[in-house]
Amino acid sequence: MRSGFGGWPESLESLAGGAMSILHEVLAWSKKLAAWQSDAVARLLTKDELSPADEADVFALLKLEHGIADPQGRIARPQSADQIPEPVHSSIQIQLVAIKDMRHVNAIAEGQRLSFAPTGLTVIYGHNGSGKSGYSRVLKRACRARDQAEPIHPDAKLPVRRPAAAEATFDILVDGDPRSVRWTDGAAAPGELSAFSVFDARCADAYLGGEDDFSYIPFGLDVFDRLAKLCVRLKGLIDSERAQHAVDLRPFAFLHGDTAVGALIRGLSLETSTEQIANLSSLSTDDLDRLASLEQGLKESQPKERATQLRLQAGRLTALASRIRAKAQQVSPAVVKRLFDLTSSFHSAKQAAALAADGFKASDSLLPGTGGEAWRDLFEAARKFATESHPDQRFPALRVGSPCPLCQQPLSEAVHVKLVAA
């Protein structure tokens, strides 16, 4: 364990600075992700392997993102800047001098001090249970090491009570200036301590890509591959859960068809609103009346006979409607106008006939009744007979000298004039 960064070889110092830059790039990228993905990134950066409980938490957060409530009320905890080391400033040299005044850490006695040489290598050794792991876990937690999964246990010899948070004081040198910073487990670690890199077997990431092929992925870059694999596992969980909760839609097959409900079912998507479904799930007043009528019809003692009667009534009403439409054509405005015109013409002709009859009556040379109804019958009979006796002429305008249809004597000029006048 080195006491500071100042004496590191250039390659190791560049690697440490590069790793910190990668982590900050990953942090900035994770802030653009969905809450459940950002939570998953935070877990993947602090653990070599996610436990089944971790995957269950991320799965619950994924469903919560899409409106599926979580009975356990879990919330996403994205990665934050105070969980990763701060960027290393090459112009500042920070050295670890000592860890002291540790409290509530295993069975390590309070008031102890563990010193580190400002330069060179400091070796810490001791029997099992002497506290080496306790110091190591405090260092990893306070210096924001990659792996922080190992818990810091309180002293098991103390009475059972609510455990207090572990604490420790770090003596450091910042460009030769001595300082002391206090660390408390669960609170944000002091920024100065993030300048130290704590590395052990749990913080390493080594891969065998093939036979005798050993590769190393810098801390932070492996999160993309691990997140992709996690998404694949979550997809498997989603498919499994969907299969378990699959609904048999066959009882609702009758809803399909050329109806408003059928159209809604065919177009169901994430864009479908609950209001659209609610509007079609209720019946209007007309629908309720129609339903009541159908129910009443089904309650008839002889529904087939009733249906036959209704069909006959419907047929009669249809025929009546057709006759009404036909008659309506006969009393249209045009027909009514023609009737009025004919009536007017009839009255005009009747008046003309009356005037002519009055003229005949006024003449002393004509027989009584000339121009009356009997005379008119005689005149019409003569007209009818003239069509046979004088087919080449039109009665009463017969030529002078033609035989009269009544007396069959040649017509004189005077008689011809009177016939034409009649």
The 10s digit of each residue's pLDDT in 70-120 is: 899 998 888 776 666 555 555 678 888 899 998 888 888 888 899 998 788
Reported as type and span, the H/E element at residue 113 is: strand 113-115
Query: 3-state SS of 245-272?
Result: CCCCCHHHHHHCCCCHHHHHHHCCCCCC
**pLDDT, average across residues 111-134:** 86
Q: Are 101 and 169 in contact (CB under 8 A)?
A: yes
Tell which CATH architecture fits domain 83-204: 3-Layer(aba) Sandwich (3.40)
Helix ranges, 119-181 (H): 132-142
User: What pLDDT was estimated at residue 211?
Assistant: 52
Q: Which of 235, 252, 92 is nearest to 172 (CA)?
A: 92
Residue 8 has pLDDT above 50, yes or no: no
The 10s digit of each residue's pLDDT in 150-198 is: 788 887 777 666 667 889 999 988 888 898 999 898 887 887 787 777 7
Find the Cα–Cα–Cα–Cα dihedral 316, 320, 326, 327, rounded to 10°: 150
User: What pLDDT was estimated at residue 89?
Assistant: 55
The 10s digit of each residue's pLDDT in 189-227 is: 887 787 777 777 666 554 444 455 545 566 667 788 888
Reported as type and span, the H/E element at residue 174 is: strand 167-174
* Average pLDDT score over the chain: 77
